[in-house]
Amino acid sequence: MLNYLLVSCFILPFLFIFFKFKSNTKSSPKSYPIIGDHFIIKANRHRRTEWTTDLIRNSPTSTTVIRLPFGRGHVLTGNPEVVEYILKTNFPNYQKGEDGHKVLFDFLGDGIFNVDGDKWKSQRQLYSHVFRTKSLRYFVEHVVDTEINERLIPMLATAAANDTVVDLQDILQRFALDNICKISFDYDPACLTSSLPLAKIAVAFDDALRITLMRFFTFKPIWKIKKFLNIRSEKQLKEAKSEIREFTKKILSKEPTTDNLLARLISSGQSTEGLVTDVLINFIFAGRDTTPAALTWFFWFVSKNPGAESEVVKEINEKSDSPSYEEVKEMVYTHASLCESMRLHPPVPLDNRHAMADDVLPDGTFVKKGMAVGYHPYAMGRSEKLWGPDAEEFRPERWLEKDEKTGNVSFKDRDQYTYPVFQAGPRICMGKDMSFLQMKKVAASVLRRFKVVPVMDDEPSLITTITSKMRGGLPVKIKERK
């Protein structure tokens, strides 16, 4: 009701807005003067990812423009040439920007995902320490193995023995949160324990992600007024922010005993309490939400494709019971299955930048200074232009190629601008290798012993949030393999 009241205050003097005019591009929604596409955005707020995918799919250039109130615009593209242009070729012109920074600040502060320039460069250098090969090996062979053997497998074994339904999405998020905190901060939140205690921090992150995304599609004065009055969604965001900050205080109260991210940050000499907190929150967000999102969809697709599941299990059984670092890296079919799953459901379905100056994209789309420009991995993964007529099908084989002479099968990668699941260009994700190692280790440990059986037949729907989460989770039964 408040949203409509606030919008009405702006539009009542302009009664002529009810005379519709057409957008100048076929792929854009029909708009109104003054308020732009407000009503259709509102109508699709619960299926924003799917709606914007349809817009891109129906565009001859795979680029669309959503008209926001008072002449503002939001460009969305699924065109690899344009993606390369904004993420690499003209990288300096497409940054998080002041507007993007303000939208995300209450959640991510001045962390790496919300800053540009020197702030971004210094934090990226700091993060690079965690992703060195030596760190990756330790992560796989110690932290992940311990969490799998002492918590994840016993929990799934109990569910199998009792024939109970468990939410695999929730379990994997708890698993990832424990892992990322232990490897980066030497802190164990113990979220994945047998009692599955209510994790307030998980609820807080979910609320912060959802409300922050809403801001991007809301007329700025509306969410600003809500924030000033401390009401509704902005009140929720403030409460979530407080819970997240309290969690980071627990981490900071523990003296780091290993050479991890936290120790490196404290010893860098450039850290303030605020910056340390922001770095922690950004790192937890990356580890806690993206990897489990990818794994959740992987288990869904494998469970619904018996042929693919058979190939994954066959490959897993060729490795030792506890696959080594080298063996995990050699799991080619499992790697292809994960890539295929993330093609259809990328952990971050949409990512935004802001134009620092007026520009024209390679497909001819004019971009005004300050405009939001987003690339859409979800829409790109389902594009027949990029993946052929079977783009909507789960087919890991599209990532594999066979050597006709030796008969060996190897992984066939795609360029990062056609498949920008891990971003691309200077901001490409440094945690890509760590994510794959963790996901393959979990897949091997779970599918070697158990069959994951979803209790519903229809593909889960998406929650409209920054990451690709299933609405209602992934309820499954766990069956012991014979």
Domains of the chain with bracketed CATH: 2-480 (1.10.630.10)
Q: How far apart are CA 360 and CA 278, in angstroms?
A: 34
What pLDDT, in 10s, does the model give residues 14-27? 433 333 333 434 45
Mean predicted confidence (pLDDT) in 191-205? 80
Residue with tokens 């950004």: 282
What pLDDT is recorded for position 360? 98
What pLDDT, in 10s, does the model give residues 455-467? 999 999 998 788 8
What pLDDT is recorded for position 287? 83
Is residue 106 pLDDT above 90, yes or no?
yes
Whole-prediction pTM: 0.89
What pLDDT is recorded for position 23? 40
Q: How far apart are the first and last CA of the chain?
A: 56
Q: Residue 74 carries which side chain, given as an amino acid letter?
A: H
Structure tokens at 311: 């190939």
Q: How far apart are CA 300 and CA 342, in angstroms?
A: 12
Q: Which of 313, 340, 335, 288 is nearest to 439 (CA)?
A: 335
